Amino acid sequence: MKQLLLIFIGGGAGSVLRYLVGKLLNNSQTGIPYGTFVANILGSLLIGLILGFAAKNEALTQNHTLLLATGFCGGFTTFSSFAYENHVFLKAGDFTTFAIYTIASFIIGFLAVFGGIFLTKFL
């Protein structure tokens, strides 16, 4: 039960922060979802850092990992918004933005996870 509560609290905090980032950065004039992009990339970096620290000398407990990685990062990042925004680009015939957004999200997201894990070796 404690583990579920930790995930719930982390997920709620991550979701609220994602909403605020989206409100601040999403551009309604161009339709480019900068907020979702930033949340997904930052979340990828964070999960790399968190899991890197967890693996390094067991620096984090399982409960810390559940709160931060599963809860917070799970609530902060959003594949469903990413998928919907790509649907909007395709429906509008904006294939260039669709391709750039999709490719950049995957490549930079993966690099952020790997970068976060790599950084924990020096921290």
pLDDT tens, position by position, 35-79? 999 999 999 999 999 999 999 878 899 999 999 999 999 999 999
Q: Taking 90 as the threshold, does the pLDDT of residue 22 lie above it? A: yes
Average pLDDT, stretch 2-18? 97
Rounded to 10 deg, the angle between the 34-55 and 95-119 helix axes is 20
Q: What is the pLDDT of residue 16?
A: 98
Provide the 10 A C-beta neighbour count for residue 50. Answer: 23
Provide the 10 A C-beta neighbour count for residue 89. Answer: 21
Q: What is the pLDDT of residue 57?
A: 79
